Amino acid sequence: MAFAPMGPEASFFEVLDQHRASLLAALRRGGGEPAGRGTCPASSSEVLSSIENIIQDIITSLARNEAPAFTIDNRSSWENIKFEDSVGLQMVSHCTMRKIKSDSPKSVKNFALILKVLSVIYKLVQSNTYATKRDIYYTDNQLFGNQAVVDNIVDNISCMLKVPRRCLHVLSTSKGLIAGNLRYMEEDGTKVNCSCTTAVAVPSNIQGIWNLITDAKFLLIVEKDATFQRLLDDNFCNKTSPCIMVTGKGVPDLNTRLLVRKLWDTFHIPIFTLVDADPHGIEIMCIYKYGSMSMSFEAHNLTVPAIRWLGLLPSDIKRLNIPKDTLIPLTKRDQKKLDSILKRPYVTCQPFWRKEMEIMADSKMKAEIQALTFLSSDYLSRVYLPNKLKFGGWI
């Protein structure tokens, strides 16, 4: 045993163990998952060669007195997205493209910025060194203007070269946190021992962590940092030990999604989400489970379709008699988001999710997880989550 469990009796985990058995059986029926997921599919020499080919095309265009252009997959159109229940949202093989031209006033600056970032990436890969997106931004922050410009360019280059971002030697500073029954080694040999009382930052190089060890029965993804910290304060990890908790502090960054995926690939334990009963919380849960349109080209490394929705369910609001004065009316923006989610391809294979969203739409109300504190200050950690986990209250 890697850890000494301090949590409830073994009978508490019977339904969880049955759920895990069904997940493993589904994997076997599907022939398991393709080998190599989560690994870097392109060597450094291949990445360098791809960049050199792009530069050669630019030189050839100039030699012909033609204006060079970058051709990039359109990552902002649902027409380019297909859905598979076993993978999530992924980019179609023959998608529509867009050109970033060097002779167009609208795109010439973007063309130049892509060229600059390509140059930085080439040097990083060639020297086998790494940099964060923030480092790239500060190579010429006046030129880039803001960090989001660099973020988008790096993702476009990753899509253009058809390689995960980590193969470009570009890292991002993690904002996510992890706690609970887990230990691992970082790439440089540093031992990380997560605890049930304090959180550690999600590593910035998920590909590099190794020798992961856990006895956890489940992984709980918590939408908001405030809820995550409250669960730590309430000693939830110890009371339901062994378990792991992760938060992306809202919309998850790439590293948090990569970590959740790595934990699934390594341990195949049940994974649950705890999000607000509002369209924004549902959107975040969908990103973990099925991915996002903008990162659909890397779906195989990021999505975990086995994730289940533990709470807060819209139907829980009525079932638990949560006071109406703790509920919040849906805004027009909320309603638009909810309508958008209901039209997405994965909702057709999630009838229970659709039912919950329809309850929300009909009531025109939403609720934050904190609404449970009106039942009692520790209701979430003492009653709500233990009962959900023990009796299988997920969908």
Catalytic residues: 138
As a whole number of angstroms, the distance between CA 263 and CA 216 comes to: 11
Distance of CA 307 to the CA centre of its chain: 11
Q: Which of 380, 378, 174 lies closest to 275 in space, CA to CA?
A: 380
**Which structure tokens are listed for 144?**
């880039």
CA triple 323-327-331, angle to 5 deg: 165
Round to whole Å and give the CA distance between 302 and 297. 10
Residues 89 and 125 sit within 8 Å (Cβ to Cβ) = no
Say which residues have a Cβ less than 8 Å from residue 241's Cβ, sequence separation at least 6.
3, 5, 6, 7, 180, 181, 196
Tokens representing 284 are: 């975040």
**Which is nearest to 366 in space by CA: 325, 334, 328?**
328
DSSP letter at 277 equals: B
Q: Which of 171, 128, 155 is nearest to 297 (CA)?
A: 155
Helical axes 332-342 vs 279-290, angle rounded to 10°: 30
